[in-house]
């Protein structure tokens, strides 16, 4: 009888021990899954962001869901990546498109406008005026976008060939980026012009004024001294 009681006692103790072990294992798995592993992944994402491996960081933070501030870190990483794309790689389009996905976060909306403007100025300075025009048109009165836009639109009116009214041996031709070539020709009224050693290329300044289809070129002595018109067939 005594042995039966002892057997039951050890059976109960053994059962309790097994239950405790199972609970311990389950608790360990739970802690590992919900705390240890996520914390490790969180730190890996932070390191990836610091290493400028933004896509990896965003992927990990996204998978972590509501662990700590992972959701905010997704936004912050995209914001940081956008700044990096613009400032370090001059990839304005990618930066702007990325900021549009987090518009409303921090100053992302203002930054979009700023980057569009910077891109417009860069395109303008690189002579890509057609693309620059589209960018400035989207900016309205931001900064001095209207000034750049007005300059581009004025140049668009000048693009092509202009022949001097008083001297048919002289002419100008404008490119769509504001550059112009001043020609001295061998024969008057030839449309197949060849620039000689006196030809020069300069950047468009305020030396030209277009009035009623007549282009006036100023010089250092007399304003609006030389007139040019479009060549006739």
**Contact criterion met (CB below 8 Å) for 207 and 217:** yes
Per-residue pLDDT reduced to its tens digit, 50-75: 999 999 999 999 998 999 999 999 99
Exposure on the CB side of residue 205, measured as CA atoms within 13 A: 6
Query: Is the CB of residue 218 less than 8 Å from the CB of residue 209?
Result: yes
Mean pLDDT calculated for residue range 215-229: 70
Distance of alpha carbon 11 from the chain centroid: 72
Taking CA 129 as the corner, what is the angle to CA 123 and CA 130, rounded to the nearest 5 degrees? 115
Q: Could you tell me the pLDDT band of residue 199, with boundaries at 50, 70 and 90?
A: very low
Q: Which of 188, 158, 157 is nearest to 170 (CA)?
A: 188
For residues 217 and 172, what is the distance between their CA atoms, to the nearest angstrom?
Answer: 10
Q: What is the pLDDT of residues 148-157, one digit of tens each?
A: 998 888 888 8
Q: How many residues does the chain have?
A: 233
What distance in Å separates the CA atoms of residue 74 and residue 125, rounded to the nearest whole number?
35
How is residue 222 annotated by DSSP? S
- Cβ atoms of 215 and 208 within 8 Å: the answer is yes
Mean pLDDT of 98-116: 95
User: Helices marked H in 32-137 — which ranges?
Assistant: 37-50, 54-64, 70-87, 92-100, 108-125, 129-137
Nearest to 181 by CA among 167, 194, 192: 194
């Amino acid at each position: 009888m005594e042995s039966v009681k002892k057997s039951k006692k050890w059976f109960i103790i053994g059962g309790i021990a097994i239950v405790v072990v199972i609970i311990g294992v389950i608790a360990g798995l739970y802690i590992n899954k919900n705390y240890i592993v996520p914390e490790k992944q969180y730190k890996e994402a932070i390191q990836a962001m610091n290493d400028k491996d933004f896509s990896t960081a965003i992927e990990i933070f996204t998978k972590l869901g509501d662990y700590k501030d992972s959701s905010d870190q997704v936004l912050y990483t995209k914001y940081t990546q956008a700044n990096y794309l613009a400032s370090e790689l001059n990839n304005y389009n990618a930066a702007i498109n990325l900021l549009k996905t987090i518009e409303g976060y921090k100053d992302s909306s203002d930054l979009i406008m700023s980057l569009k403007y910077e891109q417009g100025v860069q395109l303008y300075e690189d002579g890509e005026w057609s693309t620059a025009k589209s960018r400035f048109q989207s900016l309205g009165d931001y900064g001095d976008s209207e000034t750049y836009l007005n300059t581009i639109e004025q140049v668009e009116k000048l693009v092509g060939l202009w022949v001097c009214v008083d001297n048919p041996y002289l002419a100008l031709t404008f490119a769509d980026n504001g550059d112009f070539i001043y020609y001295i020709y061998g024969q008057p009224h030839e449309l197949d012009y060849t620039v000689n050693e006196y030809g020069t290329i300069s950047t468009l300044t305020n030396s030209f004024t277009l009035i009623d289809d007549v282009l006036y070129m100023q010089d250092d002595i007399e304003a609006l001294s030389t007139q040019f018109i479009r060549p006739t067939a």
